[in-house]
Chains A and B, each alone.
Chain A
Amino acid sequence: MPKKKSKKVSKTKEIKGQLGKKKETAREKMIGQSIGYRYDVNLLPDYSKLTPFLKKYIEAMGWDDLNWLEDVHMGYEEDRAAVFCRNANGWVTIPKSIKLPNNQQDRDMIARELLVKFQMSPKHPLVDLKKAYLKF
């Protein structure tokens, strides 16, 4: 008799903050969604992971560190990796062609780089608004 192949049972990893996987507050149960941010807002950047683009940006601005970019993290929108643009008040979706590393610190650096490129682009939504409404 051939040996029966034992099926591997994949262990499901409990994800912190997932509904039904942790003790929700009464409020969360009632509204059916987690209350909170989509990433750890208090995560401090690891400066050893700075990208060459970000180094150039810091130098061009005359700053000593990431400055406002310390608060930028990679999150998600509509099931896709995204970064929040505070100027456009919307999520900027990261193209699927960009490979994302399996590490939040590295992903955050990519998010910062892409956000700078998006905000400084002449195609940014604020450019049209500025043209239409700038008073002086």
Chain B
Amino acid sequence: MANLKTVSKKSKAQSMGMHTEVLTGRTQQKFFNPDEAENFYYFGTYDVDFNKRTELDVKDMTAPEANKEIDNLMSQGYGTIVIKNPQGKHSLGVGILNKLNLIFEGSLGYFGMGSCDGPIVRINGRVGWSCAENLMAGKVVIEKNAGSCFGAAIRGGDLICKGSVGARTGIDMKGGTIIIGGDAGAFTGFMMQRGRIIILGDVGINLGDSMYDGTIFVGGEIGSYGSDAVDAELTKSDQDWLKRKLKVAEIGENFDVSKMKKIVAGKKLWNYDNLEPTEKKGAI
């Protein structure tokens, strides 16, 4: 049997409806000290100033060299860095765990801005596959189009493409918001687990296929629904949030959000658990 503890007396948390069962021994537990000083940045990150601006020409640099130089500039306190001549190089701007204003004057190749946590990035061109993969926090804006797997497995932050995107956008995403001004390809939101996708244009076949949770908002036509993706009612709270988010994304400010379609998981595929007790017992 699963490690399920029955609690006869209702605790405050239970009476508030915060939970319905107690599971033990499955996660770590950390205790928070509320007397922590007011601090907005990760320990050991650079103290940068948005008003301190510099330019970096990466024409004759490899991607690792360029990324190291970005880190070096941040260590000198530069908060706004303009990258010249990115020329479609792959893996540019990856692993930035700092507050930063980063501007690319050109296009990026594959895996641009991967595994970032915090920066505000503007890319004035296009991006290749898997842009901003595993984004944790921050804002990434692409002025033109993006390739496949846009925002793959992102966990937080805002990822915005003003143009159109390829297939499998938001595949396996676990949080955050992806906003697309144009159209999106097939299998958008494939296996998504949390987070939100907003598409102002049309979307291809198998939208939200095998999605576990999360929400997809579509303004245009839907090619077809994927397995377990179902329509849901667009609430007033959804509409207010959509208006706010489109303003943040600098696109579709006059878009009529009340006509958008909302797609969620039907939850018919919710048939797993991480203990698999019966199976384990059988194996022993």
Contacts and interface: CB of A to CB of B under 8 A. Distances in A.
A85 B43 CA distance: 16
B102 to A, nearest CB: 11
Interface in B119-138: 120, 136-138
Contacts of B8: none
Interface of A: 15-19, 21, 25, 27, 30-39, 41-42, 44-47, 53, 56-57, 60-65, 67-71, 74-82, 85-86, 88-95, 97-98, 100, 102, 104, 107, 114, 116-125, 127, 130
Closest 9 A/B residue pairs (Cβ): A68-B156, A90-B28, A68-B137, A18-B20, A71-B175, A60-B40, A117-B36, A120-B39, A64-B248
Nearest to A68: B156
A37 B137 CA distance: 22
Interface residues on B, range: 35 or more
B39 A97 contact: no
30 contacts: A15-B17, A18-B20, A38-B18, A38-B19, A41-B214, A45-B241, A47-B244, A63-B139, A64-B139, A68-B157, A69-B156, A70-B177, A71-B156, A76-B13, A78-B24, A81-B13, A81-B18, A85-B30, A86-B136, A86-B155, A88-B30, A91-B28, A92-B30, A93-B30, A98-B34, A100-B13, A114-B34, A120-B40, A121-B39, A123-B33
Given A33-B4, A53-B38, A121 B137 contact: no
Contact of A71 (B11, B30, B194): B194
B237 A42 contact: no
A136 to B, nearest CB: 8
Contacts of B138: 63, 67-68
B34 A27 contact: no
Interface in B3-53: 4, 7, 11-14, 16-24, 27-34, 36, 38-44, 50
A2 B4 CA distance: 47
A25 B195 CA distance: 25
Contacts of B20: 15-19, 21, 34
